[in-house]
Chain A
Amino acid sequence: MELLRFATAGSVDDGKSTLIGRLLYDSKAIFEDQLESVERTSAERGDVHTNLALLTDGLRAEREQGITIDVAYRYFATPRRKFIIADTPGHIQYTRNMVTGASTADLALVLIDARKGVIEQSRRHAFLASLLGIPHLVVCINKMDLVDWSQERFDEIKAEFRSFAMKLDVHDLTFVPVSALLGDNVVDRSVNMPWYDGSSLLHLLEETHIASDRNLIDARFPVQYVIRPQDQTSELHDYRGYAGTMAGGVLKPGDRVVVLPSGFASTIAAIDTADGPVEEAFAPMAVTMRLTDDIDVSRGDMICRDRNRPHVGQDIEASVSWLTNDTQLRTGSKLAIKHTTRWGRALVKDLQYRLDINTLHRDESAAALGLNEIGRVRLRTTVPLFYDEYRRNRATGSFILVDESSNTTVGAGMILGPTDVS
């Protein structure tokens, strides 16, 4: 059984909580004691239907304010797949949360209220999904019961969304008309919308092909930890293994490789796991490599193929999403940076522009990036990074920026490439 991670986005009251509650409920991921607690709360509040939205309500602050404030994770499974939902809140300050929740998603699910149609926030959600390189985008047009199950309305919204999405890097776009409240097209096909000949949402989630979304071409193995048993007496005396998580491509014993930054060449002697050696490794397997040569390799190094190396450099261009209210990103800012298994420091050489994520307009006069803002920057790092374009590989193309005094994560970066010096 395969694992699919998806992120949900919608504006307040579009019905996101109801939809997730419905998916969990209909797939039997809701337990009786959870349901009882929701029924009790719902009755106390005087709701007419049991409010399935309460199922996905988390912290006390949210219960008090009646809104979701952060990313919450939910789990359910069908006989075909196991699902992890990153449920991101729908209020205005959500860019940070959506970026956080969607960074590892295979699929983004965007909700639109059929009565309201495509609004500013729907555009933002689509843009963020494309920025984060989420391979599949599913747009649920909800509350179809309130527009008389109208095909015309559905087609209208679909056309408008499509014309906007054309400007983005969205490869796989699907639309589903649903009623989260009544369950139409959520798990089973709706009888109220015979004109719709696509799949129900759950069916789509089960069938979307994700195995080929990974990069299986560019072999990348960032060394995470060096395993050297301390037991000097045993046969493990000379054991030296490089543990890590495959970040791209496929590696096999016998493959010729180079280690960056040293550039030393060697051959993979074996790929070990605790269950014994394996014949090949690919993302996201966690394995331990042994090399035929006794060369110096440590955490932060990268094992790859001689003829297919990542970029190596200290000057990069990237899109950065700013995640804090405490400080701003400006030209001249100095931050800690974590990329694969390397830490270094980064200097913002230039904030090239701030992007208006509603209009996609580039504001080149912007002097700073604040919370929930996204911009394009040039960075200079203290250590060379071994990276690929984010579009090509999310694992080797992403980094985080950390404030050196508070130690909190303040920025999320997606690498566009080396700085164009011309």
Chain B
Amino acid sequence: MSTTTYELTHLQTLEAEAIHIIREVAAEFERPVLLFSGGKDSAVMLHLAVKAFAPAKLPFPVMHVDTGHNFPEVLAYRDRRVAELGIRLVVASVQDAIDAGKVVEHTGVGASRNRLQTVSLLEAIEKHRFDAVFGGARRDEEKARAKERVFSFRDDFGQWDPKNQRPELWNLYNGRHKKGEHIRVFPLSNWTELDVWQYIAAEGVDLPSIYFAHRRRVFQRDGMWLAETPWTTTVDSEEIEERTVRFRTVGDATCTGAVESSAADLDAIVQETAVTRLTERGATRADDRISEAGMEDRKREGYF
């Protein structure tokens, strides 16, 4: 950083803003938790949270809302990070919710458990009495997210009311809430996908291997490459073949699409991201393409 002009780069500014937000939560809430799926945004968020309290340990646990449909590489990564940092991991299991009959799983071709995560997430928040929940969502991801606050209020039912959001001014965040209500906090609100990759490259943030180009057995559906997993059912016209791919986002293994790419290291990924012509979600999330208003509806219900 330049010491003569007192200028910060955009990544330094975004980092400082995120650290400010994370510290504000640690100072004002009793039971925060950080959602950690093993995806790159949550990896960056965890990295920032660790930096915010160095040299002390992270003063709150992390939580994984586990659909049960995971890439093994991502689970291994999750457990490794948690062990390295010596932090507590809470797992909210969708499989458990299904087994207990709390939610009904859709079956058949193209069914996914993504939407069922909301139930497990809200139940875990209630059970552990979490009052602040850090999410790695970014405003550039999707139109409904573009309007969400950094401190986003949720009522007793975990619901978001887009028309009744608290005004948010300067860096004066208002986390006041009553018992049973909680605040979702999005420290990466102002980051774009490219910022995230540039930051990962600059900071050397550790990621699951599936973000880098590798050979994988995939098949094409709705113009996306989906991975062959133990839970996928294909129809006759869908042929499984081996391709060189990488993932741009990581979610439920059955509905996260891969992109064909030979970008095997961070520099190559930053290059590719800078020139890509498809949004992350448009390219890779089967569940988000259901309808124009898909995300808004799910967010109202309490989704991430």
Q: How far is the CB of A392 from chain B (nearest CB, A)?
A: 15
Cα distance, A353 to B20, chains bound together (Å)? 35
User: Which of A58, A245, A284, A400 has a CB less than 8 Å from the CB of B143?
Assistant: A58
CA distance A284 to B52 in the complex (A): 14
The proximity string for A residues 379-414 relative to B, scoring 1 for CB distances below 8 Å and 0 otherwise, is: 000000000000000110011101000011100100
Could you say which of A68-76, A144-152, A196-204 contacts chain B? A68-76
One digit per residue, 1 when the CB lies within 8 angstroms of any chain A CB and 0 when it does not, for chain B 157-195 equals: 000001101111111101011100000000001101011
Tell me whether A274 is interfacial, beta carbon within 8 Å: yes
- Report the minimum CB–CB distance from A226 to chain B (whole Å): 9
Instruction: Judge if A171 is at the interface, Cβ distance under 8 Å.
Output: no
B139 to chain A, nearest CB (A): 5
Complex contact B16–A285 (CB within 8 A): yes
Q: Which residues of A contact B177 (CB under 8 A)?
A: 407
User: What are 10 inter-chain pairs, A to B, with CB distance below 8 A?
Assistant: A31-B277, A69-B163, A71-B147, A73-B146, A74-B140, A211-B6, A227-B55, A239-B55, A274-B51, A409-B174
Instruction: Classify the interface of chain A: helix, strand, loop or mixed.
Output: mixed
Confirm or deny: A84 has a beta carbon within 8 angstroms of a beta carbon on chain B.
yes
Say yes or no: B143 contacts A57, CB within 8 Å. Answer: yes
Q: Is B236 in contact with chain A by the CB < 8 A criterion?
A: no
When the two chains form their complex, are residues A73 and B13 in contact, meaning their CB atoms are under 8 A apart? no
Residue contact A338 to B277, C-beta cutoff 8 Å? no
B296 and A60 within 8 A (CB): yes
Give the distance to chain B from A139, nearest Cβ to Cβ, in Å. Answer: 24
Say yes or no for B278: interface residue by CB 8 A criterion: yes
| B282 surroundings in chain A (CB, below 8 A) | 31-34
Q: For the A-B complex with A41-B292, A84-B190, A284-B8 known, give 11 more contacts whose Cβ atoms are closer than 8 Å.
A: A31-B282, A58-B143, A58-B146, A61-B163, A72-B143, A73-B139, A211-B5, A284-B17, A286-B16, A400-B174, A409-B174
Q: Does B283 lie at the interface of the complex (its beta carbon under 8 Å from any beta carbon of A)?
A: yes
* A412 engages B26 (CB within 8 Å): no
In the complex, which residues of chain A have a beta carbon less than 8 angstroms from the beta carbon of B56? 227-230, 236, 239
| Residue tally, chain B, CB below 8 Å to A | 61
Does A37 touch B at the CB level, under 8 Å?
yes
- A-side contacts of B53, CB under 8 Å: 225, 227, 243
Question: Are the C-beta atoms of A284 and B169 separated by less than 8 Å?
Answer: no
CB contacts under 8 Å to B, within A55-70, are: 57-61, 63, 69-70
Q: Min CB distance, B12 to chain A, in Å?
A: 8
Of B3, B7, B50, B292, the residue contacting A279 (CB under 8 A) is: B3
What string of 1s and 0s marks CB contacts (under 8 Å) between B7-33 and chain A? Answer: 111101111110110011011000000
Report Cα–Cα, A106/B203, bound state, in Å.
Answer: 28
The reply to whether B52 and A243 form a contact with Cβ atoms under 8 Å apart is yes
Question: Which parts of B228-272 form the interface with A (CB within 8 Å)?
Answer: none
Interface string of B136-155 (1 = CB under 8 A from A): 00011001101100000000
The answer to whether A243 touches B23 (Cβ under 8 A) is yes
